[in-house]
Amino acid sequence: MPRQDTGHILNKYLSVAIPLVFSILSTTTVTANADQGDILARVRAISIQPDVSAGGALGILGTGVKNAVVPELDFVYMVRPSIGLELILATSRHQVTSNAGALGGVNVLPPTLLLQYYFNAAGKVRPYVGAGLNYTLFYNNGLHAGDTPVSIKNSSFGPALQIGMDVQVARNLFVNADIKKIWMRTDASAGGASLGSLKIDPLVAGMGVGMRF
């Protein structure tokens, strides 16, 4: 599976999202939105698009990781009207491929904590950016090379970046679009021999709805 051009994908989303933000801002009446101490809860459908880089035998085999579409849940605590702390929760199962054929599947659980800054904090349309840390847990490992099970390192830590936008549609209801870049990796072995490292580093694009409490 060829390495995906994450920069090209991100530029494509930004070229659509940024003009849309300014277009809505120019036509939207300002109204009160999230205040200090509020909690925002969002549900999104997300597309997880791995940007794979493999080393060692995994690289020689052309190892890749397929996309997945899953639901995502997140909660934001508004520390200040323009500053939020977001916890993102989602899990997905990915099929791993190689030039020699399918290697099986593995589940990924990457809870991510992000510090966010909201622009136009008092308006109906609130673009935001975020940066933080993810802890990735790999579980339900079904990977194999032929008849030999493949073992992987169970967890990793990595940075995360985010850009998104909330658009208020009712007093406590809004729609949301969001793009995240998450860095995650694991190491693989089979029969006690190292197979190399696998960097997954997905781009995660999502849309959904949220409520303010």
Looking at residue 83, its amino acid is: I
Q: Is the pTM of this model over 0.85?
A: no
Burial letters 131-148, b for 16+ CB under 10 A, else e: ebebebebeebebebeee
Please give the Cα distance from 46 to 204 (Å, whole number): 6
Domain 6-24+38-212: give its CATH code. Answer: 2.40.160.20
Percent of the chain surpassing pLDDT 70: 85
In order of 78, 134, 191, the CA distances from 39 in angstroms are 6, 21, 48
Burial letters 178-193, b for 16+ CB under 10 A, else e: bbbbbbbbbbbbbeee
Per-residue pLDDT for 15 more than 70? no
Q: Where are the domains of the chain?
A: 6-24+38-212
H/E stretch holding 106 reads strand 101-109
Please give the Cα distance from 50 to 81 (Å, whole number): 34
The predicted structure's pLDDT at residue 43: 97
Q: How confident is the model at residue 165 (pLDDT cuts 50, 70, 90)?
A: very high
For residue range 25-43, what is the model confidence (pLDDT) as tens digits?
444 444 446 788 899 999 9
Please give the Cα distance from 11 to 158 (Å, whole number): 22
Per-residue pLDDT for 147 more than 60? yes
Q: How confident is the model at residue 100 (pLDDT cuts 50, 70, 90)?
A: confident
